[in-house]
Amino acid sequence: MSWDNIWRNKAQNQKPEANMTAIAKFGCDCDELCADTQICLTTGKCFVSLQKNTNGEIVERRGCLDGSSQTILVCKSGGHKEISVYCCQGNMCNANVSLTLASPSTPTPPPSNSGGNSTVAGYNIPILATSILGPFAALMCLVLICLCLFRHKHKQHMQKLSMVDPELAHRHPHELRAVPAGDSTLKDLFDHSCTSGSGSGLPFLVQRTVARQITLVEQVGKGRYGEVWRGQWQGESVAVKIFSSRDEKSWIRETEIYNTVLLRHDNILGFIASDMTSRNSCTQLWLITHYHPLGSLYDFLNRNILDPPLMCRLLLSASSGLVHLHTEIKCNRTKPAIAHRDIKTKNILVRDNLTCCIADLGLAVLHSEGSDTINVGSNHKVGTKRYMSPEMLDETMNMESFESFKRADVYAFGMVLWEVGRRCEIGGLCEEYKPPFYEYVPNDPSFEYMRKVVCVEKLRPTLHNRWCTDPTLTSLAKLMKECWYQTASARHSSLRVKKTLMKISECCSKTSKIVY
């Protein structure tokens, strides 16, 4: 069928009376095919077309399209080289439209008609704008919701941490309080805290004062808990233990235990303050303690060779700290008994006077004889595998008995006795430092590996022949074997270990010799 026949059939089928009665119809600009008027009515589309006839002349047609089949036939004809068609929907939308034969898809847009739909090349402008801007607006809303949830969660996190220190709850997270401390020294502040009846650390207000005036100088240690820095406070050195965010429970637990009344002891690491700061939505957890430049007993043994008196001095002071932890003190303000649960040379520090103090109470448990309750806390981490007792490795330990926790500490302390004794020089002989079970397990043994060695094969660290040639080492060897018995109930108590070490110390020389 020719293009002219399409227009002719359309004009013959046009029904003016239907055009006048259809309420939903709109007008289109028409050519001479529309009979007596230049406007036709339709519910379909308006069109403008250009076509070359047989004589090569370009003929322009305008009009209405009512039938769906007719609309598809005409509007889809714009792809031919000799025909250009523009279709639109809306009142008089084809008026003043200029076409070129080569580009039917980009006509000159008609004047806007308030009575018709806004369209561009057949697209509805509001729908097009909604489809483009809608997803972008939804994405922005999602980002804002996520930011609000993050801020809310961070606020709850800070409130939870503030429960450890009630004074923090009334302070803005970013507030830095720097109250002048005058000429007071840490010793003055500690003496005041003791006479005022407080616990191991300073009063909370003083803790804030000291903590906000500390300057970090150098990093001196790093472990699974975080980092240890040497800091300066009014010319005095302090140790700042900065916990990683994943070890938050250890910080909470250590803060809680260090603030226990009557915990202060020469052989327990001196606690100064606990602080929490928030910067750039990042929470920093600080534990501020006395600073001991000689480092841990582990470091000291790696660097130094001991003589018998110094060996006894180190071990006796460490055992004194363990006894103080294990002992419940009953007075006006009762100190509960405390089991350490991670005794090892890395958690024992060497003071300037060559005595030891026990540190790192993040895994400790508390027991009160009056209520007979064991406070394990919310930190479910375990200690160091090399120092774990057989009942801990084979999971037969009675967790309801506080005595079980103390016996596990004694087992670990037996390993410390072995480590220190190896570094004692007698008769010109001394062994190099090695960790417990070095001859049986790799550097980082698995839990199963240690269970096989300790529980199944029932092995213990080996003793060199020289341990049998000297009375001091012989007595020490007997003591350590009594500390690491397979059966927990057969082991000594920490108090019995201390008394035995006192007797061994009486047999040692009064002079000490350290080779650097």
**DSSP letter, residue 450:** H
Same domain, 249 and 309: no
Last residue of some domain: 247, 270, 291? 291
Give tens-digit pLDDT for 259-308.
Answer: 876 788 999 999 888 887 665 567 778 899 999 999 999 999 999 999 99
Q: How far apart are the first and last CA of the chain?
A: 111
Q: How many Cβ atoms are within 10 Å of 61's Cβ, its own excluded?
A: 20
Same domain, 477 and 410: yes
Mean pLDDT of 147-173: 61
What is the CATH number for 515?
Answer: 1.10.510.10
- Torsion-angle region of 121 (φ positive above 0: left; ψ -120 to 50: alpha; else: beta): left
Nearest to 275, CA basis, from 267, 284, 266: 284
Q: Is the model's pLDDT at 15 over the cut of 80?
A: no
DSSP string, 354-395: S-EEE---TT-EEEETTTTEEE--S------GGG--HHHHTT
Same domain, 63 and 167: no
Q: Is the model's pLDDT at 76 over the cut of 70?
A: no
- What pLDDT band is residue 496 in, cutting at 50, 70 and 90? very high
342 noted as active-site residue: yes
Same domain, 111 and 154: no
What is the CATH number for 55?
Answer: 2.10.60.10
How does strand 236-243 pair with strand 282-290? antiparallel
Mean pLDDT of 110-128: 56
Residue 235 in domain: yes
Q: How many Cβ atoms are within 10 Å of 425's Cβ, its own excluded?
A: 17
- What pLDDT band is residue 61 in, cutting at 50, 70 and 90? confident
In terms of residue numbers, what domain contains 284? Answer: 141-291
Residue 132 in domain: no
Give tens-digit pLDDT for 356-380.
Answer: 999 998 889 999 887 788 988 766 6
Q: Which of 168-177, 207-216, 233-242, 343-352 shows the lowest per-residue confidence on average (mean pLDDT)? A: 168-177
Residue 335 in domain: yes
What is the CATH number for 152?
Answer: 3.30.200.20
Same domain, 282 and 300: no
Residue 128 in domain: no
Same domain, 308 and 392: yes
Residue 134 in domain: no
Q: Which residue has the higher pLDDT, 168 or 376?
A: 376
- Selecting among 165, 342, 360, 409, the annotated active-site residue is 342
- Torsion-angle region of 147 (φ positive above 0: left; ψ -120 to 50: alpha; else: beta): alpha
Q: How many Cβ atoms are within 10 Å of 427's Cβ, its own excluded?
A: 8
Q: What is the mean pLDDT of the chain?
A: 79
Measured CA to CA, the distance from residue 107 to residue 119 in angstroms comes to 13
Same domain, 71 and 149: no
CB burial of residue 154 (10 Å; 0-12, 13-18, 19+) = middle
Same domain, 351 and 411: yes
Give tens-digit pLDDT for 22-55.
Answer: 457 888 888 765 556 788 888 888 888 888 877 8
Q: Which of 74-78, 304-308, 469-473 shows the lowest per-residue confidence on average (mean pLDDT)? A: 74-78
CB burial of residue 440 (10 Å; 0-12, 13-18, 19+) = middle
Do residues 384 and 366 touch, judged by C-beta distance below 8 A?
no
Nearest to 346, CA basis, from 302, 311, 296: 296
Measured CA to CA, the distance from residue 421 to residue 311 in angstroms comes to 7
Last residue of some domain: 255, 270, 291? 291
SS3 136: helix
Q: Which residue has the higher pLDDT, 389 or 247?
A: 389
Which amino acid is present at 81?
Answer: K
Same domain, 12 and 111: yes
Same domain, 193 and 246: yes
- What pLDDT band is residue 203 in, cutting at 50, 70 and 90? low
E strand or H helix at 159 = helix 125-162
Give the chain's domain count.
3
Last residue of some domain: 86, 119, 152? 119
Q: Is the model's pLDDT at 468 over the cut of 80?
A: yes
Residue 105 in domain: yes
Determine phi and psi for 40, rounding to 5 degrees. -120, 160
Residue 104 in domain: yes
pTM of the model: 0.63
Same domain, 384 and 493: yes
Q: How many Cβ atoms are within 10 Å of 231's Cβ, its own excluded?
A: 20
* Chain CA centroid to CA 384, Å: 22
Residue 262 in domain: yes
**DSSP letter, residue 471:** H
Same domain, 102 and 201: no
Q: Which of 131-140, 145-154, 185-194, 433-442 shows the lowest per-residue confidence on average (mean pLDDT)? A: 185-194
